[in-house]
Structure 1
Amino acid sequence: MSSASYSKFQVKNFDPRTLTWWKSKRLQIDMDPPYQRRGRLWSTADKAYLIDSILNGFDVPKIYLADFTWSDSKLNKRRLPYAIIDGKQRFEAIFDFFDGDLVLNADFVLRSDPALKLGGLGYRDLQRQFSAVAEEFDNFHLHVMSVFAETEEPINDLFVRLNRSKALTGAEIRNAMGGPVPEMLREIASRDFFIENVRFSVTRGQDLNTAAKFLLFESLEELQETKKSTLDKFVQRAKAAPSAERSNLELAARRVVDVLRDMESVFLPKDQLLASAGIVPVYYWLVRSLSPKQQNRLRAFLVKFEDLRRKNRELLKEKPDSDKIDGQLVEYDNYNRSTNDQLSHVGRFRILKERFGD
């Protein structure tokens, strides 16, 4: 990457501000910029523990904000003064406490006055009954860092560096890599299929991960290995791709969206068939290969197929020498143990297509 990408990149201390001040500015903070983790990952106890730390005067880790008050930056897509880079969960916990959506843990102890019974109380309770404690919270100063940048690359790089110790998923790291692919994946993951149909959790970017597999298949027009290293290289390579290759990626992304429209019709809301992310790329390729008339009977076939697999596994366990064991279903189960291998994708698709028929 050229030094010009970092020509104007600076991190400095934000002027000290109270929690009350930040609450007044909450609508001026973009809490969901492209590189961000999905929100609401902290448990209620985790968030209450942060409030405990604030009230007891413990240090709270720095929060990093992209600061757009210095210029009319092209990065400021939502036209807000600030965008969160690191610290979203902390801000959410603080705002939840202010809003009354969070209370202190039952075992909370105020170090400066242990005799006070504050466990289970919310912010408004403190205002009414223990105003001095509420004022301590109001006037607490967060340590916030302002980040100035002209391009997205250093902000993405900073986000990944700050979260290196937090076990980011592959999808979260790829989402912060920059280039054309992450934006395409976010668009694909915003489709109703991922919002309405899938049953697997998407809180740690599993939808982005699955979207990357779809786009990889379409860009090469065949089933591929979908391990983390392969998907990472796919995203990185696209950053330096010539315009013709980028155009091909855009066409591939459109094809993905077209297939997802079909999948939205095939599968039910929160479909049990989509409880595991590992099988979804195979279903994608299967739907892609079928005519609209064939797609109409696909779900019924898959339900019956899964029932046969379950019965076959039970028979294999109870009577491993039985001549009624379906060897092809055993083969499918073996493929299903390594869901990101190319051989697994190809093998499962072949078996499903053969059994589905014309």
Structure 2
Amino acid sequence: MENVFVVRPFSTTSIGWWYAERDQLDLSPPYQRKSGVWTQKDKAYLVDSIINGYDMPKFYIADFSYASGDLNTSGRPYAVIDGRQRFEAIFDFLDGRVPLNSDIRYLADNSIRLGGMTARDLEREHGRILKRIESFNLSVMSVITNQADRINDLFVRLNKSKPLTGAEVRSAMSGEIPTYIRTIAAHDFFARYVGFSNQRKQHENVAAKLLLIEHRGGFVETKKTNLDRFVAEALLTESEFSYTASTVQENLDQMSRVFGQGNALLRSSGMLPVYYWIVRNHIGVPQLGTLLKDFERFRADHVTHPAVVAFNAVSRSTNDELSYRVRYSVLSQFVEAGGVLDASDFVMPV
């Protein structure tokens, strides 16, 4: 028999179909890594994504249903090349071994509480949601081959690439928010003024934070989970984001004038949301850019000053709401005091 290597889409199949046929699927072929890589929380998070309609990467299956051979060590018609952890997560949930995470939110109806529920609980209390899981269609690629080295090579290639960053995932999501994020990230401020790389869409990551903060009207946590939920929930609301996006861009115009090119303060992204809010609320302050530079010198020269102590204490957790509020408060007081902030005048942020 001549060498064969064909990769083509498997006929569309739902989770319910794969679950019913799970005894026909070899999850442990020789090239697979061991199971147990995912925690219970990881598995439940995947089910959360399915319930809320998120897409997931393709599965790759060695398809021996056309012609079996030496590669088919288990005698089953299918063997997993890529997607074992996801299959195991789905099967474990439907078998009742994995409950949903306590912080799950059902985006289609926030009044429904699903935290801690198993598949049996869903069947009893929310049958429609369980049906939604079972009818979810997986994107599966069928690999037909009699060459072990080609399967091994495919497995290595699929698992060697870097995982997507949060910004890359959000960029691929639907709705208007990803478009606004990309537009903001293309602003001249990011192209010419900031000093950090955009190799993996770091500019879009900061743009998403600015858009979220502007939309909320104040500081909130800007970790990946919160940014992803912002993009997802925007699809379910009738909020108008064009005004918010244009406000962000107008403030970036102001930031370009305040900081200028080559400013060392813009070498990293952690302070960008704080600077954004400072410029937004203090644009009328004379020599604002100079005062922001002066604060860095003040930090270096007055390490025991209560303002500096408070600022430094929260600076490691740059995406936390408290960190934003404390850093903004300290910097605001310094700016409003004209760069001369006595310890007795400093008001500790709460």
Give the TM-score of the pair, scaled to structure 1: 0.49
- Correspondent of 1:309 among 279, 299, 310: 299
2:261 maps to what in 1?
269
Name the structure 2 match of 1:215. Answer: 211
Identity of aligned residues (%): 40
In the alignment, the residues of structure 1 paired with residue 226 and residue 161 of structure 2 have an alpha-carbon distance, to the nearest angstrom, of 23
User: Which residues of 2 match residues 68-217 of structure 1 at below 5 A?
Assistant: 166-217=162-213
Summarize deviations over 1:53-90 as a string: whole Å, max 9, x none.
xxxxxxxxxxxxxxxxxxxxxxxxxxxxxxxxxxxxxx
- Specify which of 305, 313, 317 is matched with residue 326 of structure 1: 305
Q: Supply the AA of the counterpart residue of 2:322.
A: L
Per-residue CA shift, 1:220-268, capped at 9, x if unaligned? 11111101100000011112322xx1x2x11110110110110010112
* Equivalent-residue separation in structure 2 for 1:310 and 1:167 (angstroms): 38
| Segments of 4+ moved more than 3 angstroms | 162-165
Taking structure 1 as reference, are residues 173 and 354 closer, same or farther at Cα in structure 2, changes over 3 Å only? same
Q: 1:337 aligns with which of 312, 316, 328?
A: 316
- Judging changes above 3 Å, is the alpha-carbon distance between structure 1 residues 172 and 329 closer, same or farther for their aligned structure 2 residues? same
Q: Give the match's secondary structure for 1:166.
A: coil
Q: Distance in 2 between matches of 1:235 and 1:356?
A: 34
Cα deviation for residue 165 of structure 1 reads 5.2
SS in 1 for 2:197: coil
**Partner SS, residue 302 of structure 2:** helix
2-side partners of 1:193 and 1:166: how far apart?
28
After superposition, give the CA deviation of every residue in 1:271-314 in whole Å (9 maximum; x if it has no partner): 210111010000000000023x31x511111111101212334x
User: Measured at CA, do residues 12 and 240 of structure 1 come closer, stay the same or move farther in structure 2, by a change above 3 Å?
Assistant: farther
Deviation at 1:355, TM superposition (A): 1.1
Q: Does 1:354 align with 2:333?
A: yes
Matched residue type, 2:199: T
Residues 330 and 195 from structure 1, CA distance in 2 versus in 1: closer, same or farther, beyond 3 angstroms? Answer: same
Unaligned runs of 5+ in 2: 1-6, 10-136, 142-157, 338-350
In structure 2, the CA distance between the partners of 1:330 and 1:171, relative to structure 1 (3 Å rule), is same
- Which SS does the other structure have where 1:200 is aligned? coil
Residues 163 and 226 (structure 1), Cα distance of their counterparts in 2 relative to 1, 3 Å cut: farther
TM-score normalized with structure 2 length: 0.50
* Structure 1 vs Structure 2 CA RMSD: 2.8
What secondary structure, in the 3-state scheme, does the structure 1 residue paired with 2:211 have?
A: helix
**Which amino acid is the alignment partner of residue 171 of structure 1?**
A
Q: Whole-Å Cα distance in 1 between the matches of residues 262 and 289 of structure 2? A: 13
